[in-house]
Each structure stands twice: as C-alpha cells, then as structure tokens.
Amino acid sequence: MFFDSNILLYGVDDKEPGKQSQAQPLLVKHYAAEQAVISTQVLQEFYNIATGKLRIHPERAARLAREYASAQVVQVTPSLIFDAMERHQNGGFSFWDALIVEAALLGGCAVLYSEDMQDGQTINGLTIRNPFVGAPHA
C-alpha cells in the first residue's frame, strides 16, 4: 500500500479532524502490518508542507518523517524520474503525480492512497484510492 504525502499529512493535521480520523487508522493499520510503502519524494513533501503550511515545529516534523520512513522507502533515482517523464508526456498525470505512480509501481504496490488522483483508476495493476471519497477503503 503506497501512501502519497497528503495522506501522511492528514494523519497529523489537527485542523482537518474529519480527514485525520480517516487517515490515521489507515496509516496505523498498514504500518503495523508492515505493508506501507512511501518514496523519498513523499518524505520530502511531508517535511516541506508540515513545516510550512501546517506550521509543525521542524524537530517534530523531522521526528514524524523518521517514523514514516520505517515503511519500505522507494528511492527516487534517475531511472524512476525518466519513467515519470514518459508517463507525464503520455498525458493524464502531472510530473509529480507520475513520479508517485512510478514509485508505487516500483514498490510492487497494488494500491496507491492519494487525495490528488482519480479514485478507482487502475494503472498496470495499481489502483488509486482516495480514502476520503465514498466508503472507507481497507
């Protein structure tokens, strides 16, 4: 189960209690089962937004990022970047979303949790799920 940075951020965002109450159990479940996958991009985005928009103290944000990094972490490599460029050029995804999709595929994930992409879309066996739309997703 690949987690986009927005799901990790909602897990700690007290200003969005509805989304937080949905993100936290999902994260706890998949981290406890050692099924969580993220990428170095997700860690970077998490820290940047946590310390900026969410105004979380940098030390706390770094501690949270280290906790999230206990998942399998896919490294963003030049090869992954070139794959994302190709997916972006073929249309349908921003470059940054294409990079998330490619990392999830490389991580061998069947599900990508993200608020930013089309819920239910399937790409090469990877299904995008928005946990804030419709019925709760396991």
Binned at pLDDT 50, 70 and 90, residue 135 comes out as low
Tens digit of pLDDT for each residue in 59-72?
999 999 999 999 99
Per-domain residue ranges of the chain: 2-129
> In terms of Cα–Cα distance, which of 114, 97, 106, 107 is closest to 35?
107
What pLDDT score was predicted for residue 43? Answer: 98
Binned at pLDDT 50, 70 and 90, residue 92 comes out as confident
Tens digit of pLDDT for each residue in 8-30?
999 999 999 999 999 999 999 99
The CATH number of the domain covering residues in 2-129 = 3.40.50.1010
Q: Reply yes or no on whether the pLDDT at 5 is more than 80.
A: yes
Tens digit of pLDDT for each residue in 95-128?
999 999 999 999 999 999 999 999 999 999 999 9
Q: Find the helix or strand (DSSP H, E) in which 127 lies.
A: strand 126-129
